[in-house]
């Protein structure tokens, strides 16, 4: 039986693992499987990524090049653009982007194209796992129909599961190995093999009854965060009007040992998950004549936060006799979260865009992002400026958007003329006269 053969390959670590998409999700999987003794073949359409990895060089900050070089030298890993080789691995893990289109609807073109590539090479004895976040039903409604016309039978000849990624870039506590892995299979045999595969590289596998449950699980995780962040963002705005420090409120509330989990406000949501994933479910819910009002309201609040930050900046400048037009503004932090080099959906990008539209002259500083990369929505010709006392004092306002741990906030506070702080990075009374919370 194919199931038994594949099971034995996984248990003996004699299987070749194919990772499709070598970004923030795929590359950690490459390392984990290779470090556990598997042969790994990585697929990506970006020739620069492929060439970099085959030279033993990493392009993701929290993944050291030395770890890539080690598995290359051990001949455990090879990267390729050649999708005709998708028939070689025994397991194929799909880690491609699932963005939203301009109408905030799911854009599955990368999943669909990858599935077509797999279908052309699919052979008996392969397990396919979709890890890309998506709406419930994608695995069985989008991926499976493109694979079954090959005349191979799912659950008998080939196997299909959904296992959502749970990466937390920049975290020193949680990684792929110690984060439980949720797995749902199209058939019971698919689920059994998915459990066995992932149990070789993670400490705990959490099996669920279907791929739809697994897909919904990932959405719930991120919607939970989006809704709670929206709540504290709304309370932050109310707190500003009532002259109440929401951060002090949160610190007091979290002393309660039960029934409360702290979430913190900010300038808007960033990253590839929280700003995007909720809209996958709101889109799918319409198929069932259901309006996800709670999720959509949270999305409206979080989407509005960069506009609120800009208005607070305009107000603060006006109070000091300055117009936003022609003002020099320094954005501190381009990454979407602290201590990472990822700008996907970063609120900093929206803030730069909004401020430039108001006529401001905008620069940024981010030690993790020396050059502003091009994104789907924004193309800024900017480089990170040095954070010197002279530079800080030359700007009309400094906006703290990403609170990287390596920055000296006391120096920033000492030399900046006006600080718009969206992260509660500047505390204490010494510089309170020049700090505006936003």
**Strands 361-365 and 328-332: what pairing?**
parallel
Full DSSP string of 202-217: SS-EEEES-HHHHHHH
55 contacts 86 by C-beta, under 8 angstroms:
no
What is the crossing angle of helices 277-285 and 293-319, to 10°?
A: 140
Residues in Cβ contact with 376 at an 8 Å cutoff, skipping those fewer than 6 apart = 99
The rounded distance, in Å, linking the Cα atoms of 232 and 253 is 12
Report how far apart the first and last C-alpha atoms of the chain are (Å, whole number).
61
Pair of tokens at residue 130: 């979709």
Beta bridge partners of 30: none
By C-alpha distance, which of 242, 419, 250, 409 is closest to 330? 419
Q: How far is CA 395 from CA 331, 384, 406, in A?
A: 10, 14, 21
The rounded distance, in Å, linking the Cα atoms of 247 and 265 is 8
| Residues involved in catalysis | 273
By C-alpha distance, which of 362, 366, 356, 353 is closest to 401? 366
94 contacts 29 by C-beta, under 8 angstroms:
no
Q: Tokens 């020739």 label which residue? A: 47
Alpha helices in 126-273, H assignment, sequence order: 138, 144-147, 188-199, 211-242, 246-253
The rounded distance, in Å, linking the Cα atoms of 330 and 342 is 19
Phi, psi of 162 (to 5 degrees): -120, 130
17 contacts 94 by C-beta, under 8 angstroms:
no
Helix (H) or strand (E) holding 397: strand 397-400
Sheet strands side by side (includes 328-332): 361-365, 328-332, 397-400, 419-421, 435-437
By C-alpha distance, which of 62, 86, 276, 78 is closest to 176? 62
């Amino acid at each position: 039986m194919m199931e038994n053969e594949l099971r034995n390959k996984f248990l003996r670590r004699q299987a070749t693992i194919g990772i499709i998409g070598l970004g923030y999700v795929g590359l950690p999987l490459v390392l984990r499987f290779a470090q556990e003794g598997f042969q790994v073949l990585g697929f990506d359409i970006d020739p620069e990524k492929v060439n970099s990895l085959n030279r033993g060089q990493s392009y993701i900050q929290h993944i050291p090049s030395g770890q890539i070089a080690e598995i290359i030298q051990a001949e455990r890993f090879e990267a390729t653009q050649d999708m005709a080789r998708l028939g070689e691995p025994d397991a194929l893990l799909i880690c491609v982007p699932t963005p939203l289109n301009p109408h905030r609807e799911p854009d599955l073109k990368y999943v669909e194209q990858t599935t077509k590539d797999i279908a052309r090479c699919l052979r008996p004895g392969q397990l396919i796992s979709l890890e890309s976040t998506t709406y419930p039903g994608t695995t069985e409604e989008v991926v499976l129909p493109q694979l079954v016309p090959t005349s191979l039978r799912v659950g008998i000849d080939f196997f299909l599961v959904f296992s959502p990624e749970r990466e937390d870039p920049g975290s020193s506590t949680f990684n792929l190995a110690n984060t439980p892995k949720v797995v749902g299979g199209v058939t019971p045999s698919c689920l059994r093999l998915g459990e066995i595969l992932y149990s070789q590289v993670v400490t705990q596998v959490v099996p669920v009854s279907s791929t739809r449950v697994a897909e919904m699980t990932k959405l719930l995780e991120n919607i939970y965060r989006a809704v709670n962040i929206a709540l504290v963002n709304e309370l932050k705005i109310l707190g500003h009007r009532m002259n109440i420090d929401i951060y002090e409120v949160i610190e007091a509330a979290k002393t309660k040992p039960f029934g409360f989990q702290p979430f913190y406000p900010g300038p808007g949501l960033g990253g590839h998950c929280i700003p995007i994933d909720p809209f996958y479910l709101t889109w799918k819910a319409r198929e069932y004549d259901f309006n996800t009002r709670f999720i959509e309201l949270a999305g409206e609040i979080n989407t509005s936060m960069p506009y609120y930050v800009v208005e607070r900046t305009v107000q603060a400048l006006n109070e000091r006799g300055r117009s936003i037009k022609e003002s020099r503004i320094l954005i501190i932090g381009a990454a979407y979260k602290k201590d990472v080099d990822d700008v996907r959906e970063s609120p900093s990008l929206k803030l730069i865009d909004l401020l430039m539209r108001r006529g401001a002259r905008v620069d940024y500083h981010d030690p993790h992002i020396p050059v502003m990369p091009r994104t789907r929505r924004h193309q800024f010709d900017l480089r990170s400026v040095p954070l010197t006392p002279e530079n800080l004092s030359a700007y009309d306002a400094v906006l703290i958007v990403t609170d990287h741990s390596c920055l000296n906030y006391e120096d920033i506070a000492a030399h900046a003329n006006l600080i718009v702080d969206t992260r509660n990075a500047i505390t204490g009374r010494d510089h309170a006269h020049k700090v505006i919370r936003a």
